Every structure is written in C-alpha cells, then in structure tokens.
Structure 1
Amino acid sequence: MDIEHVRSRFKKHFDGSEGSVYASPGRINLIGEHTDYNGGFVFPGAIDKGMVAEIKLNGTNKVRAYSIDLKDFVEFGLNEEDAPKASWAKYIFGVCREIIKRGGKISGFDTAFSGDVPLGAGMSSSAALESTYAFALNDLFDLGIDKFELAKIGQSTEHNYVGVNCGIMDQFASIFGKAGSLIRLDCRSLEYQYYPFNPTGYKLVLLDSVVKHELASSAYNQRRKSCENVVASLQKTHPHVEFLRDVSLDMLKEVKSIVSAEDYMRAEYVIEEIQRVLDVCDALEIGDYETVGKKMYETHHGMSKLYEVSCEELDFLNDIAKEEGVTGSRVMGGGFGGCTINMVKEDKYDAFIEKAISSYKAKYNKNLKVYDVVISDGARKIC
C-alpha cells in the first residue's frame, strides 16, 4: 500500500493541504466456503493488500472524493437524494448514509484513496473500501461506534447502495483482522475467536485463473435452495434443525430417499465443510500445517465433485499443486472461476509457480496472475 502516493495525490487535488490517513485490508478465507448461509463457520484473515485513504474535514456539507486509481473526481451531499452516479463513489456515500441512519453526526470532507487489492480476484476490495471509510469517519467524528457495527455498516452499504446481498465475512475480516492470526467466525451467533497462523517455512499464494463463468449467480441461488430443501425435509422429524449446521451426516442419511440426489450431495458437502473448519482450527492450535493442507484439498474435492462450483481451469490448477507437492490447495470463494489459494513450502515455491504459469498458458492460452499474501492487521489509522 503506497501511502506516499496517496498523500501526494491528495495534496495536488486539495490545494496542498494534509489530512489523516487510514487503511483497511482485503481478505482471504483459508477454509469454509458456502458455510455462511448454512449457519456454519468461516475462517478468514486480513491480508497485506488493501485500501489507503487520506481524509480531511472541509467545513461544508459536501464530500469531495477522488479515486486515484480511476483518476475520477466526484462531489456529493449527505442526503439520500444526493447519491452519486459513479459506482465507486456509492461505497463512500453508502457508508456515510449508514452512519447517519444510526444517529451518527458527520459533515463534509475531502478524500483521495487508492488500493492494491486486485479487483475481481476474490480478496474483497469493496469491503476494504467500506471498512476504510467506516473506521475513518468513526475516528474523525469521534462517534464511538463499536467494531461489530462498523462491519455491519459496510455490509448494509452493499445491501442498500450497491445492490449486493452479501454476508458479513468480508467486512468482518477487514475490520477485525490481526497479523499472525486467522479468525473463526460463527455465522449464526457472530461469535469469533482468533487462531494463530504463523506458517514458518510456508508461503500463501493465490493463483488467479482470470476466468469468471457467467452462471455464477443463478447457480449460487440453486445451491442455497438445495440446502434449504434438505433442512425443510429434516425439520419434519428434527424440529430443532434451523440450518445444515445443525445436521450430522447420520441425520442426512435419514432423508436420502426423500430428497433429490443433487440436494443430498450439496448438503453432504456443507456438513463436511463445517467440520473441516473445526478440524483446521484444532490443527493450527498445535502448529500442524500438514493437516491444514490436507483439509484444503478435501474442500477442493468437495466443491468440485459434490457442490459442483469449481470449473475445469481451477481443477487443473489444483492438480498441478498436487503434482508439485504443494501442502494445501483449493478453490477460494464462491467458485465458477477466480482463484485457488495455495499453502506451499518455500523450497517448492519457485518450481510450483513456474510450472503453474507455463502449464496454464500452454493449455488455456491465458496468463495466470500470481498474488503472494501475508496475514496482516485490520482497519487502522496510519497517521
């Protein structure tokens, strides 16, 4: 994150003045995919890539915002009818509005921001942007909003101003992130716990397949429906069941004859994945990274064969990881394209990356993007 670049652009666009600088990170999710809407656990961590913003109160009721990366300037008021047209500015406007709706008193400010979270790679650049402004405005106006509410302000911005009905994980990781730790978040109770993640001798690297398949959103909705169908079937004999989180594999077998084969497979994946998150937490407490890696491969297999949200390119990258002796590898995110996340021993790293890049180019005539990530701190004031 290039702080000096942000400061120089702010000076240029706002008459040589200086403000305060804030940052928030993107995130990875080590394990726990499609568990959130099933009342299960996710296991994210903040990363060393994110958004940096300089902000200074301007004594008016207008926000003047400059996107350094897009070279775009927007000015808007703080009332509902003042919503800006530019999609990037809606994130900042939405955060302002969500704070105001909660009784927070804010006024106009000047801001410039830049990010190094790769767009579209599943590291949640939008949550990083929302969290930066939620954290900054809370600090600048001394609003006393707690961290949980800051994460919810980011989530509500997505729902109400961007039109994305997302869960809480991305904003939560961006606000609560801690260097050297992953966070197990219970998506039902929102209880959370930090787990040590200091994989000495390993690197975490994302391989971006640079493909995104169009059917993602409709397929996602179908899978949610499959999970709900199984829950509905089980509630007849197990009224306490609210989510697949409450279901064991033995209970699932009870409804095998009355749910579709497809619904059964989807539920089997989710139940196993919720358990895998817990297994990875246990492994990390004793520094057992080999078990962590094994569970990552199991997740990829489940997402590919049971949940069917992988794609040919991601399976290809996962196979290369296996061939090259990578400790753990899986598709990260909702699927149908995007990245694999890989935990690789440092002495195997160069050979793995070289093989992945050359093989992928030869097979798909596409250039892989490679992102090394380090688990880092959440939203913060820099200066």
Structure 2
Amino acid sequence: MDANKVRDKFVELFKAEPMIARAPGRVNIIGEHTDYNDGFVLPAAVDKEMVFAIAENNQGVVRAYSIDLNEEATFEIGDAQPREGWINFIIGVTAELVKKGVEVKGYDLVFSSDVPIGAGMSSSAALECALGTGLNTMFEGNLSQEEIALVGQASEHHYVGVKCGIMDQFASTFGKENHVIRLDCRSREMELVPLKMDGYKLVLCDTKVSHSLASSEYNTRREQCEAGVEVLKKTYPEITNLRDCTPEMVKSVKDQLEEKVYDRCLYVVEENDRLMRACDCMASGDLVGLGKEIYGSHDGLSKMYEVSCPELDFLVEQTRDREDVLGARMMGGGFGGCTINLVKAEAVDQFIADMTAAYKKDLNKDMAAYVVVTGDGARVEAEVLSK
C-alpha cells in the first residue's frame, strides 16, 4: 500500500513529519482453529497492509485519525479503559506495551489500510502489529518481534474480548515474501518454508458476509475444546491439550463426550494431521495433494467445527468439478469472509468471472475477489521523529 496519502494526511492534520510503520494481512493455507489448541498453522503474510503515520506529541494523549472511516478519536495514556469502535484496538496495543515496560508517551497517528475488512485476512492483527512495531521503535522499547506479536494477541484478549491464538499476529510480524510460516503454536518455533506455486495462484473469494457471530462462537469453540481435553485427561493423563491427541484417542472417549464437543475435538486433531501432510506435499511439489488436504480442511470446518456458512459452502462447492482449481476452503474464523482457492494462473480471470456470476445467479449476492501474493512482515519504513 502507498504510504504517501497517510503521510500527507498526517502532515495536514498535525503539522509534523511522521515515521511510517506498516504490517500485512495474512492468508492461512491450512490449519484453522488449531492455534489456540497449541497446534500447527501455515500462514503467509500478503501484499495488502495496514499503514500508520506516527509522531510524538509530548502531551500524554493519543490523537488518532482513520482515513478509511474519516473518523477521529482521542484518549489519555493513563486512561486505558476499553471503548467501542476502532479506537479500542489503539487503546489495547498502547496499554499492553506499557505493561511490557515501554514508556509510551503521547502520540499522534493517522492510518489507512487496503486489507479487506471482514474478509478473514486479519486486518485487526495488521493494525496491532503495525502500531506495536511503530511505537516500540519510536519509544525505544527494545521489544523483540515475538513480544510485539504477543502484545497484539494480549490486546485482543483483554480489550477486544476475543481469545485468539497467536497465528495472525505472528504471520503479520514475521512474514516473508515468497514464503509460508509453519508455526508451532505451543513452542512458538517456526520455520519459513518456500512457497512454490508452479503455475498456480492464490485467489480469495469474498462472500461479503459479515462474520458477526465469529467473536462469540470463537470463544464457545475454545471452551468446547477445553471441555473435551478435561475428559480426555481422565483416560490419558499425560496430555495437556488436543495437540497431544491422536484421532484414535478422541474416538476412544466418544461415549464420554457431548456430541458437539466430540466433533470439535476430532476436527482439531485431524486438522493438525492434514497440515503435516500438506507440508509434505509442499516439500515434494505435490500441489494436487495439497489441494486435497485443503478441501478436507473445509469439510471439517463446515461439518464438524460448524464455523462455515451457506455462502462459504456454496463457493467451495462451485470449485469441486473445475479442472483449474486444485483446492478450496473457507479461511479465517468463519461465519463469513473468504474462501481461499488454489487456481491455475492462466485461468484466474475466467475463474473469478464464473464464480462471481454463479454467486449472483444462485444467491443474488455480489462477490469480491482478490489475487494475493506473499509479502513481508511488520516493519518501520521511515523514521522521522518530530521532537
């Protein structure tokens, strides 16, 4: 995203030269709802970003302006109470940095984004990681990249009220162009894996359905997984969470679990297995095999974890008989947002046209599409601190 309009608006509003901080949205190839169960995920940062212009104001207050919403808001550094709206994310990141010992003083900021909102590309993590990276640099916090990612996660937990895992913030912080990240959400160890598409592209089909249920249902799914673990521990005391389980272990206690809890747990365990097989496929260049695992992920998310919606299911079903698509699934928290599709490069335009037409014809709704490529993680692009 071009940072010039953000910088120019900042200069217009605050009459100072800002520093520029930016962080990307992300896609997730496979491994959904596994992160908060200490499992594995396979995200990649993309070329759509959140961009901040920031400068100190030495007034003990934050003055913020959103270009995209044409809205402004303020709060005092010492008043970190959660509030409604987008400013809550700014308050949360600021407060969590202070908890980490960063001496955040007053600052002004302007921000804008080309990460689609509500599309499952984690615009919220892009905001948190861009702001956290910028403020850490500006106020000489000396936090590591991992600590900045964890600040973003903590702000979601304590201010937004979503008990998210660490995937989104780690992808936004550590992403690298032409790579995916295989992240172990328990140890936080990660491996940058080259992404070789070999004539295929990643295309997102946006249902334009708002996932308003995602926050509450997300927390419910987490509670159901935790309930399942407590039952599993009675038979398998060596486990700490679903990461330690095999499908056979879950199946062995089926009669002790509520039906929904059983389905949730089995999905998570099988999704971890799918991800490992997907990594093997990527290592060997087997994109056909990768596509099969991606389809398997959607089936589990839709039928067992129940976080899909009719629009997402429709878009995935439309691809199953297409020779130019190797795999498709819903992506993100669910109940709306995008499907991610592995599409033959030469067929991308026709694919988008066909999907758009079918969505309009059958559901009488408009669909958006984004062709995404991998990008780099959070960074400070220019540092011009106004004193």
Q: What is the CA-CA distance between 1:218 and the residue it aligns to? A: 5.1
User: What is residue 46 of structure 2 aligned with on the other side?
Assistant: 47
Written as runs of structure 1 = structure 2, the 5 A alignment for 1:320-335 is: 320-325=318-323, 326-335=325-334
Structure 1: gaps spanning 5 or more residues: none
8 Å contact 1:74–1:84 — kept in the other structure? no
Please say if 1:12 is aligned against 2:12: yes
Alpha-carbon displacement from aligned partner over 1:312-349 (angstroms, at most 9, x marks no partner): 22121111112222111001122222211111111221
User: What is residue 241 of structure 2 aligned with on the other side?
Assistant: 243
8 Å contact 1:63–1:108 — kept in the other structure? yes
1:314 to 312, 315, 322: 312
2:263 to 262, 265, 276: 265
Distance, in Å, in 2 between the alignment partners of 1:68 and 1:96 is 20
Distance, in Å, in 2 between the alignment partners of 1:372 and 1:363 is 23
User: What is residue 376 of structure 1 aligned with on the other side?
Assistant: 375
Where 1:66 maps in the other structure, the secondary structure is: strand
> Against the structure 1 CA distance between its residues 288 and 149, is the aligned structure 2 distance closer, same or farther, given a 3 Å change threshold?
same
Distance, in Å, in 2 between the alignment partners of 1:28 and 1:77 is 35
Where 2:209 maps in the other structure, the secondary structure is: strand
Which stretch shows the higher mean deviation, 259-268 or 71-80?
Answer: 259-268
Using the aligned pairs only, state the percent identity: 49
User: What is residue 283 of structure 1 aligned with on the other side?
Assistant: 281
User: What is residue 336 of structure 2 aligned with on the other side?
Assistant: 337
The AA in structure 2 aligned to 1:3 is: A
8 Å contact 1:130–1:154 — kept in the other structure? yes
8 Å contact 1:324–1:352 — kept in the other structure? no
Name the TM-score, length of structure 2 as normaliser: 0.92
The AA in structure 1 aligned to 2:334 is: G
User: What is residue 299 of structure 1 aligned with on the other side?
Assistant: 297
Q: What is the CA-CA distance between 1:283 and the residue it aligns to? A: 1.9
Name the TM-score, length of structure 1 as normaliser: 0.93
Distance, in Å, in 2 between the alignment partners of 1:111 and 1:219 is 33
Please say if 1:37 is aligned against 2:36: yes
> Against the structure 1 CA distance between its residues 5 and 332, is the aligned structure 2 distance closer, same or farther, given a 3 Å change threshold?
same
Distance, in Å, in 1 between the alignment partners of 2:314 and 2:66 is 37
8 Å contact 1:203–1:346 — kept in the other structure? yes
Q: What is the CA-CA distance between 1:295 and the residue it aligns to? A: 0.6
The AA in structure 1 aligned to 2:271 is: E
The AA in structure 1 aligned to 2:103 is: K
Please say if 1:158 is aligned against 2:159: no
Distance, in Å, in 1 between the alignment partners of 2:260 and 2:95 is 42
Distance, in Å, in 1 between the alignment partners of 2:312 and 2:62 is 42
Distance, in Å, in 2 between the alignment partners of 1:250 and 1:110 is 55
User: What is residue 111 of structure 1 aligned with on the other side?
Assistant: 109
Distance, in Å, in 1 between the alignment partners of 2:219 and 2:84 is 28
> Against the structure 1 CA distance between its residues 253 and 57, is the aligned structure 2 distance closer, same or farther, given a 3 Å change threshold?
closer
Where 2:320 maps in the other structure, the secondary structure is: helix
Where 2:109 maps in the other structure, the secondary structure is: strand
Structure 2: gaps spanning 5 or more residues: 383-387
Number of residue equivalences: 381
Q: What is the CA-CA distance between 1:372 and the residue it aligns to? A: 1.6
The AA in structure 2 aligned to 1:269 is: Y
8 Å contact 1:76–1:84 — kept in the other structure? no
Where 1:257 maps in the other structure, the secondary structure is: helix
